[in-house]
């Protein structure tokens, strides 16, 4: 098994506190923990579209601050996308991937960022593509097909877009060309 991350579908209700003002509960939340990264994917409808943002803090202090509000950033961006998508069938979503590449050379930073995109994508595909392997390895309490579409956002490069589309096809996603919505230039 060559997995680099662990993914969990979370009940979105656990991401709210009774101490908070009431707000709309997302349709779905996925958390991914990988080598040198943590990511959230939050969506407000069963079929949702929104970008994947890579966050790479420059210092341990900045990393701690980003980590403390990562889910809130993801929620806010997904909710904004939901409002933007109000007149189309897809709901709003967003993925925020917080990457620890502090103190690395530029080459090392780029390597970790590209590897994080791949591991995050593969883990999402593990959770949403029904294959013999995933039926054996994934504990599924949702019990229904999920349709997600990503798009490039901050620090996602054309090579990432191409890889995500190719990988979605290899993994059997029904609409791989739509899994990452933009085409590289």
Catalytic residues, by residue number, are 94
For residue 71, which of 103, 102, 100, 33 has the smallest C-alpha distance?
33
Please list the residues that pair with 29 across neighbouring strands.
10, 42
Using the 8-state DSSP alphabet, how is residue 180 labeled? Answer: B
- Decide: 55 and 36 in contact? Cβ < 8 Å: no
Strands 28-34 and 5-10: antiparallel
* Gap between the Cα atoms of 42 and 123, Å rounded: 15
Q: Hey, what are 110's tokens?
A: 């780029």
Q: What's the rounded Cα separation, in Å, for the pair 55 and 4?
A: 19
């Amino acid at each position: 098994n060559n997995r680099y991350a662990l993914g969990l579908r979370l009940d979105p209700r656990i991401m709210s506190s009774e101490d908070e003002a009431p707000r709309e509960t997302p349709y779905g939340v996925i958390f991914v923990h990988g080598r040198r990264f943590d990511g959230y994917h939050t969506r407000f409808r069963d079929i949702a579209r929104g970008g994947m943002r890579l966050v790479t803090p420059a210092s341990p202090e900045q990393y701690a601050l980003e980590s403390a509000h990562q889910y809130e950033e993801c929620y806010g961006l997904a909710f904004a996308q939901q409002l933007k998508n109000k007149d189309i069938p897809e709901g709003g979503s967003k993925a925020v991937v917080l990457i620890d590449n502090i103190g690395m050379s530029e080459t090392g930073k780029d390597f970790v960022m590209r590897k994080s995109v791949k591991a995050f994508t593969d883990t999402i595909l593990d959770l949403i593509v029904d294959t013999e392997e995933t039926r054996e390895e994934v504990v599924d309490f949702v019990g229904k097909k999920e349709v997600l579409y990503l798009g490039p956002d901050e620090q996602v490069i054309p090579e990432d877009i191409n890889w995500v589309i190719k990988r979605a096809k290899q993994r059997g996603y029904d609409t791989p060309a739509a899994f990452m919505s933009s085409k590289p230039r």
